[in-house]
Amino acid sequence: MALRHAVLAALLDEELSGYQLAKAFDLGVANFWHALPQQLYAELARLERDGLVTGRDVVQDTRPTKRLFRVTGAGLAELDRFTASASKPSFLRDDLAVMVQAADHVDAGRLIERLTERAAVARAKTELFGTLLRTMRGDRSEEEFLRHGERIGPYLTCLRGLAFEQGNHDWCERTIAVLRERRAARAGG
C-alpha cells in the first residue's frame, strides 16, 4: 500500500488540502503513482486517523473552507520505515501495448491512429516535464542543482517521468514506422 506513502511524500514540501493535493498529484506524483481525488481524500482521512498527518481548517471569504494537511513526526518515521522495506518491482500497465501485441491480427490503420495519439500525449508530457525541471532548478545547471540543491527528490522522479515519456514517444514512432512500411510493402507487393 504505497498510496499512503506517495501522499506523505507529496506533502513533504507543502501543507496542502485534498483538492490541492489532487492537483499536485496530477502534475508530479502521478508519473509514478496515479490516483483519483476520491482516493486522496480517503487516504488523507486514514492518515490523519493514524496520526501520520495533521489537518487544520482554513476558513476563506469567497471559497469554501478547506482542510490543510501536513506530515507529522510519525508520518516521517513511517516514510523512513517504508524506505527500509524492499520495493516491489515497477509495473508497466499499458492498453496500447496489449493492442500492439495483437498487431498481426488487428487493423493496422487503427493501430497507427492509437499510436499517433499516444505519441502526441507523450510528447506533450515530455514538454511539461522539461518545463517542470527547469522551474525546479531555476538558473542552475542540472549538475549544479543535483549537487547542491535542497530538495532533489521531486527532480529525480521527474527525470524518471521524462525518460519514461520519451521512451513511450520513441516506441510509438518506431512502431508506426514499422507498421506503415509493412502496409506499404503489402500494398506494393
**Interface positions, 35-74, toward a second copy (CB under 8 A):** none
User: How long a stretch of residues is the chain?
Assistant: 189
| Minimum gap (Å) between residue 59 Cβ and DNA | 10
Which one, of 71, 10, 76, lies nearest residue 40 by Cα?
10
By DSSP bridging, strand 53-58 and strand 66-71 are antiparallel
164 binds a second copy (CB under 8 A): yes
Give the Cα separation of 110 and 4 in Å (integer): 39
Cβ-based nearer residue to DNA, 45 or 136: 45
Residue 49 lies near DNA (rule: CB under 7 A): no
When CB distances are held under 5 to 8 angstroms depending on the partner's kind, the choice from a second copy, DNA, none that residue 112 binds is: none
Among positions 21-40, residues that touch DNA (CB under 7 A) are 23, 34-39
Judged by CB under 7 A, the residue of 63, 105, 148, 186 near DNA is 63
Cα of 51 vs its chain's centroid, Å: 26
d(CA 115, CA 111) in angstroms, rounded, equals 6
CB 52 within 8 A of CB 3: no
C-alpha cell at 29: 506524483
In the block, which residue shows the cell 515497477? 90
- With CB under 8 A as the contact rule, the residue among 57, 138, 185, 188 that binds a second copy is 185
Residue number, 39 or 72, with CB nearest to DNA: 39
Per CB under 8 A, the segment of 19-27, 43-51, 59-67, 93-101 that binds a second copy is 93-101
Residue 1-30 contact track with a second copy, rule CB under 8 A, x = bound: -x--xx-xxx-x----------------xx
What is the residue type of 54? T
Grid cell locating 9: 511524500
Which has the closest alpha carbon to 176: 114, 84, 88? 114
Using the rule CB under 7 A, is 90 a contact of DNA? no
Return residues touching DNA (CB under 7 A): 1-3, 17-20, 23, 34-39, 41-42, 45, 60, 62-67, 91, 93
